[in-house]
Each structure stands twice: as C-alpha cells, then as structure tokens.
A and B are shown apart, each in its own frame.
Chain A
Amino acid sequence: MGALMVIFSLQKDQRRKRTDSVEDELELSAVRHRPEGLEQLEALTRFNRKELQILYRGFKNECPSGVVNEDTFKDIYSQFFPQGDASTYAHFLFNAFDTDKDGSVSFEDFVMGLSILLRGSVQEKLNWAFNLYDINKDGYITKEEMLDIMKAIYDMMGKCTYPLLKDDTPRQHVEIFFQKMDKNKDGVVTIDEFIDCCQNDENIMRSMQLFDNVI
C-alpha cells in the first residue's frame, strides 16, 4: 500500500502541466491593438514624427498589447509616487484620458491627451483640467466632486508628511478653491467661471507654462 501511495504522488505533477496549457491558450487571444499610421497621428496631434516615435516606443514597451487598462494604468502611475496611494487620482486621470469610454486607453487616446496637455493653448489645457475635475461630465464641478479629487491628490502624499495631514485638510482646500472660483456663489463651478478665474490668476498661468518642454 505504501508503494502505491508513492507512485500516486509522483504522478500528480504531470497532471498539473496539462491543465496549464488550456489557460495559456486563452491568454494568447487577448486584446491586440494596432494604432493608426504615423501620418494620421501627425495630423491629429501637434507632435512631429520623431516625438511620436519616442512616445510610441515608451508606450509599447510598458504595454506590449497596445492598450492600457485601468489596473496597469494605476500600477504605472503609482510607481511615481512611492510614498502615497496614487490609485484614486489615477482612476480620475484614466477617465479623463479614456475619451471614448471603452475601458482602455489606446495609443491614440494617450497621444491626443498629451497633445492637448503639452502643446495645446491655455484655453484647451484649462478645458482639459475642467474635464478632469468634472467627474460625471455634466458641465458643473460640485463641491463633492472637488472633494473627491482633492482627497485623491492628498492621498498621493501618503501619511508621512510634514506637517501632519489632518482629516479636514482636503475639505478646507476645497473651500478655498470654491471661494476663488465660484463667482456667483451658486455652489457649482461652471466651465466659464473656471476658465475666467484661472486666466486671471497669475500663479496658475505661470504654472501652465511649466510643462511645455516635457517632450
């Protein structure tokens, strides 16, 4: 009886190998996405050929299948902020980049978003930022939406900060923001109020130019 048991135990390893191959086949038929040609992308965005090449190489290196889904996106973004939790903010960013709402960011989405952020006019950049804050895309930023965004930003700091982060720090920050932006005090910020106020704020204008030479 003991010998039988030993023989059975040796055989179980072989059985495992057979089941793995079925799962492997499923993986192979995963999504593969090929982007538009270089010429079309050149026309759609404000990048030149060389810049598009560099961007695509980096993109494809990180995502060999050609699309980024939300989890990969969160992963990548979190690596830049090791001390905090960047996943909530990455979620909002993902929604802002995923313009066709199909749950994945393809290279076209990626490069078009970047084109606005890096080569767009101030108006376009502010428009993009408004889109980011407006979570439900209804054209108004409410205090709750702003609070979510603010909490997400503060989450990225992590808990080891100086001075210590208090629980109502995001809320206070949202109050300051609304005081500045909400001109008619109706509790929401519309796109016009937002763009108006930002264009009049010197600090914000200066900051917008900061990332012009990123590529």
Chain B
Amino acid sequence: MASGVAAWLPFARAAAIGWMPVANMPMPIAPTEKNKRADELIVLNVSGRRFETWRNTLDRYPDTLLGSSEKEFFYNEETKEYFFDRDADVFRAVLNFYRTGKLHYPRSECITSYDEELSFFGIIPEIIGDCCYEEYKDRRRENQERLMDDDEDKKDAKLPNMTFRETMWRAFENPHTSTMALVFYYVTGFFIAISVLTNVVETVPCGATPNTKEVTCGDRYTVAFFCMDTACVLIFTVEYLMRLFAAPSRYRFMRSVMSIIDVVAILPYYIGLVMTDNEDVSGAFVTLRVFRVFRIFKFSRHSQGLRILGYTLKSCASELGFLLFSLTMAIIIFATVMFYAEKGSTSSKFTSIPASFWYTIVTMTTLGYGDMVPKTIAGKIFGSICSLSGVLVIALPVPVIVSNFSRIYHQNQRADKRRAQKMQKARLARIRISKTGSSNAFLHSKRNGLFSEALELTSSIEEEQHLSKNQSLLESQHHHLLHCLEKTTNHEFADELCYEQSYLEGALQSYPSQSPSLSSQEGMTGTCCTRHTKRNHAPLPNSSIPTCALSHTHPHHNLQELSTIHIQPLNTSRSSLNMRVDEPARLNCQSGTITTAIISIPTPPATTPESDAHPPPPGPTLQNVVKVSAL
C-alpha cells in the first residue's frame, strides 16, 4: 500500500469516476467503514516528553508498532496516553517517519542504539532515505569491523576437537597461535631471505685470478651455490606440500595467488634438474633462473603491508588502466611530433618513431637521461611541451591510487568489501520485496477475498471475520479501487508467474490441440494461479477435491489439468462456487451469474466448461464467443 500517499487515496478514488462511463460491467461494492470515527489526536509520552499527532498519521504504516494494535499494550488508562520508556531523541526521527514518509538517521546518535530503537518500533532500516543512507551504512560497517577485531582476538583461542589438519592450517595462517608455528614462520622467512641473497650474490664478480678475466661468484663456487639452492628449494617444497595437505579446500588453495607464487619459485629448479646440459637449451635454462626472483614475493605472507599494496593495485585496476592508456596516447603523439621535427637535423638520434618512444618516455616521466636530445628549435619547443604535459598526465590518476591505498590500509580488508557487496544486494532485495509486496498484497487479498465470500455462503461467519481482520480500511479501499479498474478493463491483475505461463501457452496456441485425454479445463497449471482453480473448471473425477472445497491452496490437482486450450473466461467471483461438485444443489441455486467465455482457438468443438454438474467431457473445450450460464 502506498502509505506515504494515503492522504491522496480519496482523490484517487474520486478520479475513478473517469472509468465509469467506459466500463461495461457493474462495479464492485465499496468497502464500508464499520466504525468511522473522527480523526483524533493521540498523545505519545516517551520518557516524559509528550508528542502529539493524529491517529491517521500513525495508521499509515500498519505493520509497525505504532500503526498497529500493538501500541495498545502501552496505553496508560489513567493519563489517557501511550507511554514508551525509550529514548526521546531517537523517537523524534521515528515519528517524523510517520509524518513525512522518510526516515532519517540523526548523525549524533550511536548506531547501535538507533538500530535498537528501530527494531523496537518495528521499522526496517532499509527504508532510510537516500540522504542519510550512506552515513548509516558507513557507521554500521565501522561498528562491525570493530566487533570483528574483537572477534579476531578471541579467535586465536584454540577450539576443542580440531583435527590435526585443521590445527596445521591454523598454524600456517596465524603464526602467533603456537610456538611451533612461530618457529616455522621464522625459518621459512629466513630461508626466503637466504635464497634471495644467494641469487643476488651469485652474480657479483668475485676476485679474479691474475691471468683470466673476472668471474662471478656463482661460477667460482658452483658447488656451494648449488647446495644452497637445493636446500632452499627443498624447504620450499616441503612447505608447499604441507600447506597443500592442510588446506581445507585444496582446489581453492591451488588457485590462490600465494600458492602460484610458491610453485613458480620452485619450478625452475626442478626443470633445471630435468634438463640435460644441452647447449641449445642452456639459454632457456638461464632465463628460467630469472624466475627464482619471484621467491621474494613469498615475503608477502610475512608482511601485511605488502599484501595491502597488492590488493590496492588490484582494486585500482581501472585507474591504472586509464593511466596506461593516456600515457600511451601521449607517447605516440609526442614521439611522432619529435620524429618529424628532428627529421631535418643531421646525425639525429631520432631515427624512427619507435626510436623516439624512448625519448618521449624519459622526458614525460621527467627522468631526462640526456642520451637523446633534440637539436632543432622546433624539436626543443615540442620537447618542452612534452615534459610539461608528462607531469600532468601522470599526476592525474596518482592521487586516486594514493587515496585508495590509504583507505584500504586503514580499513584493512578484502573480506570487508565482499561483505559490503552482500549487504547492498540484501538491501536492494528487501526494498524490491517490499515494493512487490504492495502489488502482491492486492492479489493475496483477492484470493482471501474470494475465500471469504465462499465462506459467507457456508454461513460460517466467525471464520469470515477472522480472515478479514488483517486488512485495514485504507488497504481495503485501495483494493476496491484496483478492483474497479479490473472491472473497467475486463481484465484481472495477475502475478509474474501467471503472466509467463499464459504467455507461453499463448505461444503454444498455434499448434493443433493435443491429447484430449485430459478434461475440459482451462489451462492454468502451476501453483500461482490458485484462484483460477475456483473458476469454471470441472474437476477431474479422479482428482481429490476435498469435501471442504474451500481449501483453495491445493494446486496439486491442477497438475493433472494440462489443457492445450487457453480459455479466457471473464466471470465474477461468485463462480468460485462452481468447483464444489459435491453440493450441486446448492451450486445451482446460488451461482446465478452469467459468465462470458471468450476462447481464442477455433478447433474441434467441445462442451462448455461450465457444465460442472456433469462429468467432464473427453475432448478439449473450445468455443467461439459464447454466453454461458453457470448452472
């Protein structure tokens, strides 16, 4: 129900007069206000502060505490007011929600106390207006992080009954949990450092023997370096295998970045072992050794900051992409210009455009090596323009990256981002549900309404009252309005499922009729169209119509009623009685309405679908436009 515009409902109903001359059928009866009382002021006493408002204002949102009869629990007979022992400041925001339809979040309030008040008064936080929603979400996230940090400290306590595998995994992830883990952590760190150092020192020229040229240490102490390398690789392999064993999800572990780095770090060694000392492949072998430098990335397990840096770069991918793109554009432009400017000068280093790329890059990043300099005047002018624009182009995306990094560094997590996305999805889902809820409310009440009308005829009045208690007057008036529209257009509202099914069946209509073994039913299958079961269908003899034929929520027997023919009946709700085969007598005398069935496929003739009293005919039912009287 459009509660925010409840005040305009009388206007909408009055405007419905515009439909009357157009409608071909009589309109349904308007709901009457059983106990119409004049609008009165009610007093809400919240911790001593008195708020007064009209009763109608609170009735706008009947599914909250103040809008429903739940507030009667708080009514104080002596003082004739409603007393709430809650925070008066937050109550202001709550009451303003009723008055204006928008919920605001007062920034000075603590987020948890605000949440508590909202849940006390039965208001979902998702309807906070857009003006305050971001602030609300930010505060909420900070609060949850704080709680999470507290949890982290608690998490380190060892849970009882952990398997050996789980203990090992926990030891790998949090080195502080046990001494063994700490030892392992430091040992691996040490070996990573040794390995990196070895790689570096290998290439340093180590004392020369007088008659030959300088050799690198690696070549001089080959065996020693080889042993060092082997030891490191062994440790790394063992570590990797242990992690693989302990990982709770091996597949996910193998896909993770850290494990890929591990593999890349140790693989060259094994490949080198396998390959023989062939001259052709030794070149490739040397290249492989380059990959050993990736071992340095293994330090990221040991350093939080390094992980965050990596994460920042990943999250700023678009800014980095933009930076790269704009740089490339600028480089090409300036390289071309410089090439043509310097073409005239003699002994110019700008031999081709690609050769000018180097100059452009060095100039734009303000490096200025000086190995290529322009000599012509035009070249110098363009060169200066190049260096000035280089500063600009590089400076633009960098602050974004910097601010991203600082934000992430302070907030600290990729898990946090994933959680935020889930909450956004949940919020949108809840808003969508509440929106479809309003349109579905009409459909639901239609079914209930038909149910209650059928109940009237069995003269069980108590049940009828029980059913209609939930609808407020506003809702019933709104539904009456929608009902009038249906009558005007001779079509009914259906929900999405029915629409799709009828659409599909409409598509099927082009084929000739299929198995006539099923009876003459209208072809609505599925659980959504329960109300259609109440319309003109002759139930199958073998279907289990319960004697209490009012259980309209039995869609099971619908599944048997697969009909290929799409009959489009338009009948009033009274025909719901037709389904009660067990009481044909009563059926005959009470359902005295005329129904118009319009069917669209001209195929073999069939009997009327309204002949409920008779057993269903074997063939499919079709007719042209027919006026059929319900028996």
Q: Considering only CB atoms, which chain B residue lies closest to A152 in the complex? A: B18
Q: For the complex, what is the distance from the CA of A133 to the CA of B506, rounded to whole Å?
A: 33
Contact between chains at A114 and B14 (CB < 8 Å): yes
A163 contacts partner chain B, Cβ-Cβ < 8 Å? yes
1/0 per residue, CB under 8 A from B, across A18-60: the answer is 0000000000000000000000000000000010001101110
Distance (whole angstroms) from the CB of A5 to the closest CB of chain B:
5
Tell me the minimal C-beta distance from B263 to chain A in angstroms: 35
Partner of B489, one of A77, A154, A181, A194: A154
Pairwise interchain contact A153-B493, C-beta atoms closer than 8 A: no
In the bound complex, do residue B494 and residue A62 qualify as a contact, i.e. CB atoms below 8 Å apart? Answer: no
Q: Which residue of A lies closest to B569 (CB)?
A: A163
Cα–Cα distance between A129 and B19 once the two chains are bound (Å): 8
Q: Which of A1, A81, A96, A159 contacts B499 (CB 8 A)?
A: A159
B376 to chain A, nearest CB (A): 29
Measured CA separation A132–B491 after assembly (Å) = 23
A211 touching B16 in the complex, CB below 8 Å, given contacts A8-B399, A203-B25, A206-B26: yes
The interface stretch among B3-11, B80-88, B196-204, B575-583 is B3-11
Contact call A83/B10, Cβ cutoff below 8 A? no
Q: How far is the CA of A62 from the CA of B57 in the complex (A)?
A: 13
Instruction: Given A82-B439, A207-B27, answer yes or no on A160-B493 (Cβ-Cβ < 8 Å).
Output: yes
Which of B123-131, B229-237, B267-275, B477-485 forms contacts with chain A?
B477-485
Contacts of B13 in A (CB 8 A): 211, 214
Q: How far is the CB of A113 from chain B (nearest CB, A)?
A: 8
Q: How distant is B362 from chain A, measured CB to nearest CB, in Å?
A: 16
B7 to chain A, nearest CB (A): 3
Q: Which of B14, B435, B485 contacts A153 (CB 8 A)?
A: B485
Q: Which of B24, B496, B498 has the most CB of A within 10 A?
A: B24
Separation of A207 and B23 alpha carbons in the complex (Å): 10
User: A132's contact among B4, B18, B568, by CB below 8 Å, is which?
Assistant: B18
Query: Is the pair A80, B20 in contact by a Cβ cutoff of 8 Å?
Result: no
A77 in complex: contacting residue of B12, B23, B402, B506, CB < 8 Å: B12
Q: Which of A4, A62, A162 contacts B7 (CB 8 A)?
A: A62
**Would you call A215 and B10 a contact (CB within 8 A)?**
yes
Query: Can you add 8 more A-B contacts, CB < 8 Å, to A5-B398, A79-B5, A156-B485?
Result: A61-B7, A80-B9, A83-B439, A129-B18, A161-B499, A162-B499, A213-B32, A214-B13
Could you show 14 A-B contacts with beta carbons less than 8 Å apart? Answer: A1-B395, A61-B100, A79-B2, A83-B439, A153-B22, A157-B489, A160-B494, A160-B499, A164-B499, A177-B21, A204-B23, A210-B484, A211-B14, A213-B33
Interface status of A76 (Cβ within 8 A of chain B): yes
- Complex Cα–Cα for A51 and B498 (A): 42
Asked if B351 CB lies within 8 Å of chain A CBs, one says no
Residues of chain B within 8 A (CB-CB) of A128 are 17
- A191 at interface, CB cutoff 8 A: no
Which chain A residues numbered 65 to 123 have a C-beta less than 8 Å away from chain B? Answer: 76-77, 79-83, 89, 92-93, 96, 110, 113-114, 117-118
Contact across chains for B23 and A208 when beta carbons are under 8 A apart: no
The reply to whether B26 and A110 form a contact with Cβ atoms under 8 Å apart is: no
Per-position binary interface string of chain A over residues 168-200, scored 1 when its CB falls under 8 Å from any chain B CB and 0 otherwise: 010001001100010000000000001000100
Q: A8-B399, A129-B18 are in contact. Are A114 and B494 (CB under 8 A)?
A: no
Which single member of A57, A81, A153, A215 contacts B488 (CB below 8 Å)? Answer: A153
Q: For chain A, give the interface size range.
A: 35 or more
Given A9-B403, A214-B10, A83:B17 Cβ within 8 A: no
Separation of A132 and B19 alpha carbons in the complex (Å): 10
Given contacts A158-B493, A162-B494, A164-B502, contact A110 B11 (CB under 8 A): yes
Q: B26 and A81: CB pair below 8 A?
A: no
B148 to chain A, nearest CB (A): 29
Which of B25, B485, B491 has a CB less than 8 Å from the CB of A165? B491
Interface residues of B in 485-507 (CB under 8 A from A): 485-486, 488-496, 498-499, 502-503, 506
Nearest Cβ on chain A to B226's Cβ, whole angstroms: 43
Q: A206-B26, A210-B30 given as contacts; is B495 within 8 A of A160 (CB)?
A: yes
Q: Mark B399-434, 1 if CB is under 8 A from A, else 0.
A: 110110000000000000000000000000000000
Asked whether A126 lies within 8 Å of B491 as measured between CB atoms, the reply is: no
- Cβ 8 A contact of B2, one of A80, A176, A203: A80
Q: By the criterion CB–CB under 8 Å, are A162 and B498 in contact? A: yes
B99 within 8 A of A: yes
Q: A125 interface residue, CB < 8 Å from B?
A: yes
CA distance A89 to B481 in the complex (A): 15
Across-interface contacts of B400 in A (CB, < 8 A): 9
Question: A213: which B residues are within 8 A, CB to CB?
Answer: 30, 32-33
By the criterion CB–CB under 8 Å, are A157 and B22 in contact?
no
Residue contact A114 to B11, C-beta cutoff 8 Å: yes
8 Å CB interface, B454-481 against A:
478, 481
Q: Report if B151 contacts A (CB, 8 A).
A: no
Residues of B within 8 A of A149 (CB): 18, 22
Which residues of B have CB within 8 Å of A82? 2, 435-436, 438-439
Is there an interface contact between A207 and B26, defined as CB atoms closer than 8 Å? Answer: yes
Chain A residue contacts of B399, Cβ below 8 A: 5-6, 8-9
A129 and B20 form a contact (CB under 8 A): yes
List residues of B (512-541) whose CB comes within 8 Å of A's CBs: 529, 532
A128 to B20, CA, bound (A): 12
Is the pair B15, A126 in contact by a Cβ cutoff of 8 Å?
Answer: no
Q: Which residues of chain A have C-beta atoms less than 8 A from B306's C-beta? A: none
Q: How far is the CB of A88 from chain B (nearest CB, A)?
A: 12
Residue of A89, A92, A198, A204 with highest tally of chain B CB at under 10 A: A204
B27 to chain A: which residues have CB within 8 Å? 203, 206-207, 210
**How far is B21's CA from A132's CA once the two chains are assembled, in angstroms?**
11
Whether B493 and A194, one on each chain, are in contact in the complex, defined by CB atoms closer than 8 angstroms, is no
* Interface presence of B388 (CB below 8 A): no
Contact at B491–A157, with CB atoms within 8 Å?
A: yes
Most buried by A among B2, B436, B506: B2
Cα distance A50–B54 when bound, in Å? Answer: 14
Interface contact B482-A81, CB-CB below 8 Å: yes
Complex Cα distance A214/B478, Å? 12
Q: Establish whether residues B503 and A164, one from each chain, have CB atoms under 8 Å apart when the complex forms.
A: yes
Q: Is B391 an interface residue (CB 8 A)?
A: yes
Residues of B within 8 A of A206 (CB): 26-27
Residues of A contacting B391 with CB < 8 Å?
1
A contact residues around B116 at 8 Å (CB) = none
Shortest B216–chain A CB gap in Å is 37
How far, in Å, is A1 (CB) from chain B's closest CB? 7
Query: Pick the contact of B26 from A79, A157, A203 — CB < 8 Å?
Result: A203
Docked complex Cα distance between A75 and B341 (Å): 63
Closest A residue to B568 by beta carbon equals A163
Judging by beta carbons under 8 Å apart, are A129 and B39 in contact?
Answer: no
Residues of A within 8 A of B6 (CB): 58
The answer to whether B492 and A81 touch across the interface, beta carbons within 8 angstroms, is no
For B533-573 the 0/1 string (1 means CB < 8 A from A) is 00000000000000000000000000000000010101000
**Distance A110 CA – B10 CA, assembled complex (angstroms):** 12
Q: Smallest Cβ distance from A193 to chain B, in angstroms?
A: 12
Q: Within the assembled complex, what's the spacing in Å between the Cα atoms of A11 and B399?
A: 12
Tell me which of B4, B30, B482 contacts A79 (CB under 8 A). B4
Q: How far is the CA of A93 from the CA of B391 in the complex (A)?
A: 60
Is A57 a contact partner of B17 (Cβ separation < 8 A)? no
Complex Cα distance, B405 from A6, in Å, reads 12
| Contact of B14 with A117 in the complex, beta carbons under 8 Å | yes
When the two chains form the complex, which single residue of B22, B481, B495, B566 contacts A173, counting CB atoms closer than 8 Å? B22
Are B23's CB and A160's CB within 8 A?
no
